[in-house]
Amino acid sequence: MENKVKKLHLSKTDKKIAGVCGGIGETFNIDSTIVRLVFIFIALVTEIIPAIFFYIIVWLIVPKDTTEITEVEYNKREE
């Protein structure tokens, strides 16, 4: 059995701003809405500025997703 290692990436399809939370969700197989809610909670607890810096740093460092998906695959993810 082959274990495929998922690398952290910015999501092409599941993004609101830059795809950071969507990419984290795809990498760890977590709903991106939960990742966004956790990020918002952390931002509010830490007075927002550190979370914004973290988001921008991740946005600049993490590579974009390079896999191509078909329209059928994209529609399946939305269901």
Q: Cα(67)–Cα(72) distance, rounded to whole angstroms?
A: 15
Helix axes of 20-28 and 49-61: crossing angle, nearest 10 degrees: 70
Report residue 14's pLDDT band, with 50, 70 and 90 as the boundaries.
Answer: confident
Q: What is the pLDDT of residue 41?
A: 93
Span between the terminal Cα atoms of the chain, in Å: 29
- Amino acid code (one letter) for 12: K
Q: Is the pLDDT of residue 15 over 80?
A: yes
* Bigger pLDDT: 3 vs 42: 42
Residue-wise pLDDT tens digits, 23-67: 999 889 999 999 999 999 999 998 888 888 988 999 899 888 777
Residue ranges of the domains in the chain?
20-78
